[in-house]
Amino acid sequence: MTSLIGFVPRKRRNIELFLVVFALAIGLAAYASVGLGANDKVPADIVTYGGGLAALGLLSHIVVRLRAPYADPVLLPMALLLNGLGLAMIHRIDLANLADHGPHAKTFAAQQLIWMTLGIGLFVAVLLLLRDHRRLQAFTYTAGAAGLVLLLLPLLPVVGMDINGARIWIHVAGFSFQPGEIAKISLALFFAGYLVVKRDALALAGRRVLGVDLPRGRDLGPILLAWLASLGILVFQRDLGSSLLFFGLFVVLLYVATERPGWLVVGAVLFSVGAYFGYLAFGHVRERVDGWLHPFSNIDQYYQIVQGMYGLAWGGILGQGLGQGRPNLTPYSYSDFIAASMGEELGLTGLMAIIVVYGLIVERGLRTALICRDSFGKLMAVGLAVAFALQVFIVIGGVTRLIPLTGLTTPFLSYGGSSLVANWMMIGLLLRISDHARQPAPEAKPIVSEDDPTQVVRL
């Protein structure tokens, strides 16, 4: 048997550099393709745009190489790939809006590039300032309180904003921000820290019903509080997507921490009850469900869903080609419905490739959790990976009518500063946990016998 003593894991930073360059090349090629498809010429700012994109990508790689040398080599390139494709599609929609409405049309790509710069800046800050993810466990309840405050901010009368029927935005100093995007990081930290301490009590089985060990009644408090909080988001903010995201995140982490399937059963029952209550009590929930089931019953009311479906159908298997479709006909094609825009111009094949990239991000996050040596890091990595998985499922599931439509954004692709900044911070946290997990274990010092100094007692 080959001895593992002295084994040093490979850092794989050169592989990451190759993948970063490859991802940047795809993003730049997509940007050029948009110009060729829409205007029959390469965009005039291709050199400036490419230089800025390359600078951001290489800067982030250098920071990872210096500050997290053992981190996962795939996470950063995949985030850059998605962000680059999102920028190209937003630029494509800008060109369509300019063609339809002239020079006074509203454009979004330049602002999205600024948000990307800020997001990568915070990604770098996470890796530079946070040297050990385990220190975050000391801020468990602080993170929980911060997450609660962030969720409540949109309800305040001065700063809170009601946009498209959902009150999930705040407006300060001329800027709009969605605090729930940062709240999901705070709540993932809180759930991980809380469950590390309380998991033994929560893992105790209660009654066995139909072959499933259900939890004890006295232990139902945490999940009931999470359920009530998600209902509160649904009632007061009228945000179906965030309600499902936060409750689903807590239930999955509870199951992972305790390894009790009974918690999944309880979570599914509570979700079903809450969904049925929301359908009966709130008109906006009924409207979302009706649009999901019968979008052609009222095309004027469900115009966005119908246009998204037409766009996906027109894209077919291989798509119309970048710059060749009409994604701007769908309302909010640059944000909530950017998945439909991608499907129209890249086809089912391109959209499936994008979903596979998201799947790889989730897989690498779960792989990090498997090899992590501390319980807090395991749960934190699972929480961040599951947050990505749930958000992608909720958004793309809504666009493709797999589930009712919600108001969340597609990570890295959609226009939106708060979402982009939060997602880059999540990638930074995953890389920090991954770096700690893949580092070589501290070498144990041999302890020798007091009677015979040449005899090793244990390592």
Instruction: Put residue 405 in one of left, alpha, beta given phi > 0 → left and psi -120 to 50 → alpha.
Output: beta
Please give the Cα distance from 95 to 173 (Å, whole number): 29
Secondary structure of residue 329 in the 3-state scheme: helix
Cβ contact 117:56 at 8 Å: yes
Cβ contact 432:438 at 8 Å: no
Q: Is pLDDT of 75 > 50?
A: yes
Dihedrals phi, psi of 205, to nearest 5 degrees? -80, 150
Q: Is pLDDT of 211 > 60?
A: no
E strand or H helix at 368: helix 338-371
Task: Summarize pLDDT for 358-380 with one digit per residue, the tens.
Answer: 999 999 999 999 999 899 999 99
Most confidently modeled of 287-296, 374-383, 398-407, 441-450?
374-383
- Position 260 scores a pLDDT of 80
Q: How confident is the model at residue 214 (pLDDT cuts 50, 70, 90)?
A: low
Q: How confident is the model at residue 383 (pLDDT cuts 50, 70, 90)?
A: very high
Distance separating the N- and C-terminal Cα atoms of the chain? 19
Residue 38: closest CA among 28, 30, 26: 30
Q: How confident is the model at residue 3 (pLDDT cuts 50, 70, 90)?
A: very low
Cβ contact 388:361 at 8 Å: yes
Average the pLDDT over 393-409 and give the result.
89
Compute how many other C-beta atoms are within 10 angstroms of the C-beta atom of residue 452: 9
Cβ contact 278:271 at 8 Å: no
Secondary structure of residue 176 in the 3-state scheme: strand
Alpha helices in 130-260 (DSSP H): 140-152, 179-203, 221-232, 240-258
Task: Summarize pLDDT for 133-178 with one digit per residue, the tens.
Answer: 999 999 988 988 888 888 888 877 777 776 666 667 777 766 777 8
Farthest CA pair distance, the chain: 90
DSSP 234: I
- Position 130 scores a pLDDT of 94
The first and second tokens of residue 35, run together, are 């110009």
Residue 407: closest CA among 290, 244, 275: 244
Residue 388: closest CA among 82, 142, 166: 82
Compute how many other C-beta atoms are within 10 angstroms of the C-beta atom of residue 52: 14
Residue with tokens 């084994």: 7
Q: How confident is the model at residue 236 (pLDDT cuts 50, 70, 90)?
A: low
Q: How confident is the model at residue 456 (pLDDT cuts 50, 70, 90)?
A: very low
Please give the Cα distance from 279 to 67 (Å, whole number): 49
Please give the Cα distance from 230 to 238 (Å, whole number): 11
- Position 218 scores a pLDDT of 59
Please give the Cα distance from 255 to 263 (Å, whole number): 6
Report the half-sphere exposure of 5 (CA within 13 A, side-chain side): 6
Residue 173 identity: A
Among 101-105, 314-318, 387-391, where is mean pLDDT lowest? 101-105
Q: Is pLDDT of 278 > 90?
A: no
Instruction: Put residue 67 in one of left, alpha, beta given phi > 0 → left and psi -120 to 50 → alpha.
Output: alpha
Sheet with strand 160-163: strands edge to edge: 160-163, 166-172, 175-177
- Position 4 scores a pLDDT of 46
With pLDDT > 90 as the criterion, what percentage of the chain qualifies? 53
Q: Is pLDDT of 349 > 90?
A: yes
- Position 6 scores a pLDDT of 47
Please give the Cα distance from 70 to 64 (Å, whole number): 9
Please give the Cα distance from 40 to 33 (Å, whole number): 9
The first and second tokens of residue 357, run together, are 């990239």
Task: Summarize pLDDT for 9-56 with one digit per residue, the tens.
Answer: 678 999 999 999 999 999 999 999 999 998 899 998 999 999 999 999
E strand or H helix at 160: strand 160-163
Average the pLDDT over 406-416 and give the result.
87
Higher local confidence (pLDDT), 455 or 292: 292
Q: How confident is the model at residue 1 (pLDDT cuts 50, 70, 90)?
A: very low
The first and second tokens of residue 129, run together, are 């300032």
Residue 328: closest CA among 95, 36, 29, 83: 95
Angle, vertex CA 123, rays to CA 181 and CA 27, nearest 5: 90
Secondary structure of residue 177 in the 3-state scheme: strand
Q: Is pLDDT of 181 > 50?
A: yes
Cβ contact 11:61 at 8 Å: no
- Position 164 scores a pLDDT of 64
Q: Is pLDDT of 265 > 70?
A: yes
Residue 153: closest CA among 132, 172, 138, 134: 172
Residue 385: closest CA among 398, 402, 404, 372: 372
Secondary structure of residue 114 in the 3-state scheme: helix
Residue 185: closest CA among 438, 35, 381: 381
Most confidently modeled of 176-180, 261-265, 325-329?
325-329
Dihedrals phi, psi of 458, to nearest 5 degrees? -160, 160
